[in-house]
Amino acid sequence: MRTVCILGSTGSIGQNTLDVIRRHPDKYRVHSLVAHRRVETIYAQCLEFRPQYALMSDPDAAAALSQKLKSTDIQVEVLSGLTDSEGLVSSSNVDIVMAAIVGAAGLLPTLAAVKAGKQVLLANKEALVMSGALFMDAAREYQAKILPIDSEHNAIFQSLSTSVQSGEQSPIDAGIQKLLLTGSGGPFLHTPLEQFPELSVQQAVAHPNWSMGQKISVDSATMMNKGLEFIEARWLFDVQPNDIQVVIHPQSMIHSMVQYVDGSVIAQLGQPDMRTPIAYGLAYPERIEAGVAPLDFTKMLDFTFTQPEQARFPCLYLAIEACCLGQAASTVLNAANEIAVEAFLQQQIKFTDIAIIVEQTLTQQSLPDIQCIDDVLSVDAQARLLASQLRDQKAI
């Protein structure tokens, strides 16, 4: 029996994780649930999974959850404030941590799990984008096992030999030539460019293949998501930007590929369903049933690949540029994007302003050398301030 702490349990990844766990009560027990403020959802999760702890980062939500649990017979200790989650993930009673808080808020709890040497199922790509080498160095130092949950990185991981997976052999020594990162192109792959300034939130979050949280859905529409994944791949697999290529594959069946020097390409395929990578991460190196329907190749009509257009997806190219510039630029890019996407979701700025705010923040923000997490937090805070000013100038 392995025990699991879920950071971000009420979100899309959190709920999918619980769905896989629900199928294997003999293998996994939920130790703790951490979320922001969706009381009804976490309350239902507490009733079903009976964790020892439930933490809400919002104090009012924590109080409301406590109150609701009082009228039940279940013993869940309710905690409040995200800082306490660092203690939860480090508990000796936790084997596996699912890192699925969205955005920068997930950085410190995820890092705490890494420093506690846990099996870390990494969905929170922003944490790695913000901290890159520091994050991976900590994983090595504290012997944490990082298992990528982002479907692309999970696909790449599955396409590697065990010696590369474990870090014993470098990708170059293993004959890897390129990582081919696939992306669907999102809802606006074929939308005429002149319509872009007027695209609505509703249109942007309507992803053709995947059902996800709001922030990552907007990131998929701008393809900033693929840009963040580019940076994520650079660190997770210890390769250079030149070794990664983004390919549009609208059917989302191939989740990414690894090209080897002998001409072989190894790909992982499956339904666009996050329960596959989640089950892989939970059971690694074994396999468990995930509730996902098998692919039916006779029903696949098209299998196409194209290059992403720069004019359509400027955010992708800004992210690749930031990756080449280094850590501070990647941290700034992520911070500015979080501010801009939130403003777009609140209908304060236009869809096309997202890329403009990110680009201007990157150009105007100084990019110091990053040595430690405090440096990351300070660059992140400065970039948020600048991006917020730029947002206010744009406000509709």
Does position 341 bind ligand NAD by CB under 6 A? no
Does position 126 bind Mg ion by CB under 5 A? no
CB distance 189 to 252 below 8 Å: no
Q: Which residues contact 274 (CB under 8 A, 6 or more apart)?
A: 12, 13, 16, 149, 151, 210
Using CB under 6 A, which of the segments 200-208, 213-221, 354-362, 380-388 binds ligand NAD? 213-221
**Which CB sits closer to ligand NAD, 212 or 246?**
212
Does position 82 bind ligand NAD by CB under 6 A? yes
Does position 212 bind ligand NAD by CB under 6 A? yes
| 86/146 Cα distance (integer angstroms) | 17
Using CB under 6 A, which of the segments 11-19, 179-187, 339-347, 374-382 binds ligand NAD? 11-19
Q: How far is the CB of 381 from Mg ion (least distance, A)?
A: 27
Q: Give the CA count within 13 Å in the CB-facing half-sphere of 104.
A: 22
Does position 13 bind ligand NAD by CB under 6 A? yes
Q: How far is the CB of 124 from Mg ion (least distance, A)?
A: 12
Phi-psi region of 247 (alpha: psi -120 to 50; beta: other; left: phi over 0): beta
Does position 233 bind ligand NAD by CB under 6 A? no
Does position 216 bind ligand NAD by CB under 6 A? yes
Does position 124 bind ligand NAD by CB under 6 A? yes
Other beta carbons within 10 angstroms of residue 301's beta carbon come to 5
Does position 186 bind ligand NAD by CB under 6 A? no
Number of residue whose CB is nearest Mg ion = 150
CB distance 318 to 334 below 8 Å: no
Does position 255 bind ligand NAD by CB under 6 A? no
| 253/132 Cα distance (integer angstroms) | 28
- Binding pattern for the stretch 137-166 against Mg ion, x by CB under 5 A and - elsewhere: -------------xxx--------------
| 123/125 Cα distance (integer angstroms) | 6
How much of the chain is helix, strand and coil, in % rounded to 5? 50, 15, 35
Structural element, H or E, at residue 232: helix 224-236
Residue ranges that bind ligand NAD, judged by CB under 6 A: 8-14, 34-36, 38, 57, 82, 100-102, 105, 123-126, 150, 210, 212-216, 274
